[in-house]
Each structure stands twice: as structure tokens, then as C-alpha cells.
Amino acid sequence: SGASPEEAPLHRLGTDQWSKAKKKAAQQARDTAAELLNLYAQRAARVGTKMAFDDTSYHRFALQFPFEETEDQGTAIERVIVDLRSERPMDRVVCGDVGFGKTEVALRAAFVAVQAGYQVAILVPTTLLADQHFRTFADRFADWPVRVELLSRFRSASGTATAMQGLADGTVDIVIGTHKLLQNDARFKRLGLVIVDEEHRFGVKDKERLKRLRAEVDVLTLTATPIPRTLAMSLEGIRDFSVIATAPQRRLAIKTFVTPWSRGIVREASLRELKRGGQIYYLHNDVATIHSMTQRLAELVPEARIVVGHGQLPERELE
């Protein structure tokens, strides 16, 4: 799996190579299953953090949401708050398409946890997403006595040290970060809630650390594309599951066209988006030829301001 058929290892007949490989795979599957059962047994036996908060303050915070809640969104928020208020540790997956309002569920959960006197860690897979979430949270909590910090490779060493110190002494209420949050030097004074955005994009070691966290604190997972194991565990009742399937008002469906590359189509699609006042993300598959493609686009759509970003750029330039 994951390799081309030509590279698949062939086992010689008359040897026990194949039976050993099967036995090893079965053993690993059993080990994983036993580990998960043990983890969720620990959670079931443990008394969770029962979060008490002021209803009046919560309603004031909810009214700051600039949009109208959809029915599914409202249901997901209610269930998360019931979970936080109960003594059973929360492990809920909220599944919904991009733009369907999962972030608002996270904001409300974070507010409840901070009001109850706990710290919140929001774990995201990329520096860009960390930056976006940090702006959203900082903006939403601007009128409240809540300190929000960012931990990512874009932060300076002194900024990172300050944020880490704040987590340890309890002066930081909400921290948004990439896998830096899972490192051993990230110590919390009173961590109560972990929010994970797009869990499937974290590596194996990060997931191991997340598993350990799950045994200790309330966990809320947000995803647009749940991995099969997460979905299976949710359907089997090991993890709780909420779906936000209702699109917000005036949100148009995404249209996808698969077509051969054509100058006319690229120009027409780009101009439509520019006239709408929107932005265009042109995805190119090769760093070596990305600048020549940029030149072609500049000639094709001279109305657009174009910048190039890729993983080999220096960090500051990419930022």
C-alpha cells in the first residue's frame, strides 16, 4: 500500500517471510486496538473537569457572533457545552465543510473553559492556519480580560519564550500553535481544553502525544475530512460526533470543473473572480518552473497582482 506494484516486495516460496509479515501486521493492529481501548477505558473511569460558567457573560459573548447560527451549528455548540459542564471527559468530533462555522464552536468552547478558570490549547497543522486562528481569537476576545498567544515558527525566540512562560505561570489563557505545543517544554499550569483542527494532518509522533493528552483533558476535534479511524470510532460510540451539514445563508456551493489547461478558461475564471472582488489561488506543482508559470499568468491576466509562495522560500519572505 502506498508504493507502486513494481516496488512491492515478493516473498520467496518455501520460506516463512509472508507468514511473518502477516503476523507482524496483525500484532501491530491488535496493539493499536488495545492501546485505544485502554485509553478510552481510562477516560471513562476518570472524573472530568466540570466547567461552571456565568450564563450572562456567555450570552454576551455569543451575541458578538456577527452571523446567524445555522440549526446544525447551534446543536453542535449546545452539545459541546453540555459535554464541558458534565463530569465525563469530552472527546467530541465536530465535522463540517469549510465555511460552515466550526470555528465559532471552538470560540464558544474556549470561552466556557476560560470562564471556568482553565487554559485552552488550540492545535493547528500549519503556521498559516495558526496565524488565521490567532487573529480570529484575538479579535473576538478583544473586549474580554483574556490573554491569547501564538506559538509557531514565525514567532521570534523571545516571543516564544514569553508565551511559554505565560503558559507555565497561568497568565496565558488561550494559546494557538502548531506541533510546537506538543513538545515537552510546553508546560501548562491548568490546561482544561484542547481543540485540534484537522487532526489527520499531524504526524504519527504528534498523534501519540495527543493520545496521552486525551486521557487527561477535554478534547474537541474540528474537521472537514475525518480520517476513517476517527469516523469509525465516532460511529461506534467511542467518540462523540456532531455534524454541521447546513450551509450558512448566502453561502454558495463550491463548483469544481475538471478540464484541459486553456489560456481562455484561466483568463475568464480569473477575471470573474477579480470582478467579484475576490482572490485567486493558482496551485502549481513544481518549484523549478513556478516563476515561468507566474510570468505566463502575468501576461494572461495583467489586471492581477501576483505573488509567489512555496515551501523552499525563506521563512520571513514566505510570511
Looking at residue 316, what is its pLDDT? 77
pLDDT at position 208 is 64
Q: Look at phi and psi of residue 150 and say left if phi exceeds 0, alpha if psi is from -120 to 50, else beta.
A: beta
**CB contact burial 51-65 (16+ within 10 A = b; e otherwise):** bebeeeeeeebeeee
Distances (CA, A) of 235 to 161, 224, 230, 238, 241: 41, 16, 9, 8, 8
What is the predicted pLDDT for the residue at 32?
Answer: 74
How confident is the model over 25-51, as pLDDT tens digits?
A: 888 878 777 877 777 777 677 766 678
Which pLDDT value is given to residue 150? 92
Per residue in 43-74, pLDDT (tens digit) is 677 766 678 888 899 999 999 998 888 899 99
How far is the C-alpha of 220 from the C-alpha of 82, rounded, in Å?
13
Which tens digits make up the pLDDT trace of 237-293?
777 888 888 888 777 777 889 999 999 999 999 999 999 999 999 999 999 999 999
Most distant CA pair in the chain: distance in Å? Answer: 74
Q: What pTM was computed for the model?
A: 0.74
Cα gap 164→172, rounded to integer Å: 9
End-to-end CA distance of the chain: 36
How far apart are the C-alpha atoms of 165 and 172, rounded to whole Å?
9
Residue 226 in contact with residue 98, Cβ under 8 Å? no
CB 134 within 8 A of CB 159: no
Q: According to the model, what pLDDT value does residue 204 have? A: 61
Burial class (CB in 10 A: 0-12, 13-18, 19+), 214: buried
Measured CA to CA in angstroms, residue 205 lies from 2, 31, 212 at distances of: 20, 16, 11
- Among candidates 130, 136, 248, which has minimal Cα distance to 196? 130
Neighbour-count burial of 227, counting CB atoms closer than 10 A to its CB (0-12 exposed, 13-18 middle, 19+ buried)? middle
Q: Is the pLDDT of residue 1 over 60?
A: no
Specify the amino acid at residue 139: D
- pLDDT tens sequence across 190-233: 888 999 998 777 766 676 676 666 667 888 999 887 777 677 77
Q: How far apart are CA 107 and CA 246, in angstroms?
A: 19
- The pLDDT, as a whole number, for residue 317 is 83
For the stretch 114-167, pLDDT in tens is 999 999 999 998 888 899 999 999 999 999 999 999 988 878 888 889 999 999
Coil, helix or strand at residue 45:
helix
Q: How far is the C-alpha of 51 from the C-alpha of 89, rounded, in Å? A: 11
